[in-house]
Each structure stands twice: as C-alpha cells, then as structure tokens.
Amino acid sequence: MAPSVPAEAAGKESAVSLPPLFGPAFDADPYPAYDWLRRNAPVTKVPLPGCEAWLITRYADAVTALTHPALAKDPALGSPEWFRAQLGLPLDHRSTLARHMLNADSPDHPRLRRLVSAAFTPRRVASLRARAEELTEGLLAVMAAKDEADLIADLAYPLPIAIICDLLGVPESERATFHHLASVIDSAAASEIDQLAAATDGMERFLADLVAHKRTHPGDDLLTELVRRPDISPDELTSTAFLLLIAGHETTVALIGNGLLALLRHPGQFAALKKDPSTLPDVIDEMLRYDGPVRNATWRFPTEPVVIGGQEMLPGEPILVSLLAANRDPEAFDEPDVFRPGRIDEPHLAFGRGPHYCVGAALAKIEGEVAIGGVICRFPDLELATDDLVWWPSNIMRGLFSLPVRLNK
C-alpha cells in the first residue's frame, strides 16, 4: 500500500498517498513519481529502504539544501542503521572506509578536499584523457568483431574502473584483484551481506596495502602525491582511495550508459550530433541533466532546526536531495522532460552544488566525451537492440545493467 503524506507535509487539505519510490517500475522510470512529489509534496518524509528521510525534489530547495551552512554531512549525526541502509554496504560510520571528505564537515572536509583537488592537476587530467582515448580505442576494436554489443559490459563498465586504477596507481599485477573486489561491491545485493562484508574488508586491506606500497614505491599517480603530504592520516588515505573508487566508478558507468540510451532514443539529436560533433560537450551536459547517475547519494543532517520549503527539519533527521527530481523541475528548465542539448536554463545539479560539488566532474565529463564520442564515431548507425532494459535496483545510483545494441557496421 502506498504510504500517506500528512496533510501539512503535503501542503494540501487532506492526507494524500505518495507514489512508490522504489521497485522495478520506479527504477525504470522514476520521473512521474518525482513530478508528483515536486507538485504535491516538495519537501516531505518518505520511506526508503531501511529508514525514513526528508526528500527534497524542487530545484530551488535543492540548491538551498546543498549550500545550507546548518546542513552537515557527518553520518554520526544520523543513526548507524540509516548509514548502512543508505550505503547498501556493511560499513559503520566509524569504519576506516567511511572517513573521507564526502562524510566530513569543517575543518576536516576543506583539508581533505584541498589535498585531493590539488592532486587533480591539469597535467594529470590531460594524461587521463589520453589514457581514456587509448582504452576506448581498444574496447571499440574488440566490439568491432561483433554484430551486437552490450555498451555497459563492453565499454561503460571497463573504462572508468581502468581510469580509477591509473588515478590511484594500482600496479598492473594487482588490477585483477582490484577489479574483482570492486565488481563484488558494485553488484552484490544488500541481502548478500557476507559476500559484501568480505569484499569491503578485502578492499580495505587492498587499499591500505596500496597506500603503504606508495610510500616505498612512489609512482606518477594521485595516491603517491597524497602520501607525501603530512596532513592526511593513513586511514584517511585508505578511505579517500575508496571514495575515489565508489564516487568515480559507478557514476561514470551510468553517465555513459544513461547518456547513450538518451541519444539512441532521440534519433534527431543523434543525427544532429553526428552532423556537428563539436556539440558533444553540450550533449554530455544535457545527458547529465536529463537522466543523471545519482539517485539518492546526497544526504545531509541538520545541526539545528532548519526550514526549507516550509518544512521544519530537526537535528538527527536525514535529508536527501533528489538531484534527478530537481533536474526536471519546470521552474528551472523549459520543457524539462525533453532531451534538448544546448539549453540556456539553470545549470543542472548532477554533480551537486556548494562545498561538496563533485571533485571529479571534469574527469567524468572527459570520460563521457571520449567513450560516447568514440562509440558514435566508430558505429554511426548504432541502434538499440531492445526496449526491455533492466535498471540497477540501487537506491543510490540510477544506471543500467546492460545496454544491448546492434552495431550496423
């Protein structure tokens, strides 16, 4: 049965029913439900797997929440159950792997963020573009031997994980282990708790060993640059490496997958891009707005009572900002449900806003440009092989399990 929104929360005279906010139908198309919420209950308490949270769906309220000085990130401000349920990982907020900037507030957050941002030098980002091009070429060459391909397994999944390995300087001999642990963490269902616990423990040991290795075997990579700094602890280093993996991998897989799906479903825009490839950055930007990767990963906790959208939220109550919903708000975007590159509306929120704005946004866009630009250049007559698509059941991300296409070479 659909849960009810109290009349005062919904801003209506009588209690109304919320649309379902998880399950296969919602995973396939969450936008009608978000539209309903934006119109009827823009700031409201919703049940999510394992917990209840305030959900913010309007663009203006989302911006207020993401930049609000009294909304903090430290998960210790919520409950341990909430943290586990949200993350879908058997981690506690005290775990070593949880001690990174996305879970931190001042003074730790600006310190950790500065260190990582400084290590994303223009030279490193340029060399990662060259690496992304080389990797994409190799993946497309393998695809070229087939008539049909899965754009997730054949391109969107392997590219970002290889780039994270380069960024962290994972030695070639260790990459298979790293890939294996990452894929268990990515794909194990929350119910497979033992498997997940073993993989997260294995990843923690792997990354702690990698940090120790970088001290004695420095390389030309971001982790080596970080271990040289005196103002970051070994646990923070391990956790930061883990954050770069989880924040930089599935998100980018989903940008490439959701983005290519949007393009394949809009042949007019596909044709326009082929005619003028210089519009690719605009197309990527619209992909991020239209069907972005992050579903519910933007939690905040009030440190004092905070009123947003007429609702008072109290300390300890988790708040989620729905970037997907905000990016379809007609108050911010003209005809928001239309996929239209080159918009002159508000900037989208797919990378967040404010102090926690995505550190890897430039890298993610490069990977998107290289992968999406590469595949349409190599296979310009590419088309969807089925409309029967399966979406990740993740509460945190929005992405596809597979994207089968005919290459029509």
What is the contact surface with ligand HEM in residues (CB under 6 A)? 66, 101-102, 113, 116, 167, 243-244, 247-248, 251-252, 255, 292-294, 297-298, 323, 350-352, 356, 358-360, 363-364
Question: What secondary structure letter does DSSP report for 332?
Answer: T
Using the minimum distance from each CB to ligand HEM, give the nearer residue, 168 or 273: 168
Q: Nearest residue by C-beta to ligand HEM?
A: 360
Residue 240: name the closest of 367, 122, 96 by CA. 96
Strand pairing category for 319-321 and 51-56: parallel
Distance CA 136, CA 376 (A): 12
> Backbone phi, then psi, for 359, in 5-degree steps?
-70, -25
Least distance (Å) between residue 166 CB and ligand HEM: 10
- Pick between residue 204 and residue 250 the one whose CB is nearest to ligand HEM: 250
| Exposure string over 350-374, b if 16+ CB within 10 A, otherwise e | bbbbeebebbbeebbbbbbbbbbbb
b (16+ CB within 10 A) / e for 274-306: eeeeeebeebbbbbbbbbbbbbbbbbbbbbeeb
> Which CB, 140 or 364, lies closer to ligand HEM?
364
For residues 183-198, one letter each, b for 16 or more C-beta atoms within 10 angstroms of the residue's C-beta and e for the rest, the string is ebbbebebeeeeebee
Cβ proximity to ligand HEM: between 248 and 336 the closer is 248
Shortest spacing between CB 364 and ligand HEM, in angstroms: 3
In the complex, minimum distance from the CB of residue 4 to ligand HEM, in angstroms, rounded to a whole number: 28
Closest distance to ligand HEM from the beta carbon of 255 (Å): 4
Q: Least distance to ligand HEM from the beta carbon of 116, Å? A: 6
User: d(Cα 283, Cα 375) in Å, to the nearest integer?
Assistant: 14
Amino acid at the residue 221:
D
Least distance (Å) between residue 187 CB and ligand HEM: 19
DSSP-derived 3-state class of residue 76: helix
Residue 253 CA to residue 222 CA, distance in Å, equals: 21
140 or 241: CB nearest ligand HEM: 241
- Of 46 and 256, nearer to ligand HEM (C-beta) is 256
With respect to ligand HEM, which residue has the nearer C-beta, 91 or 116? Answer: 116
Q: Give me the least distance between CB of 296 and ligand HEM, in Å please.
A: 10
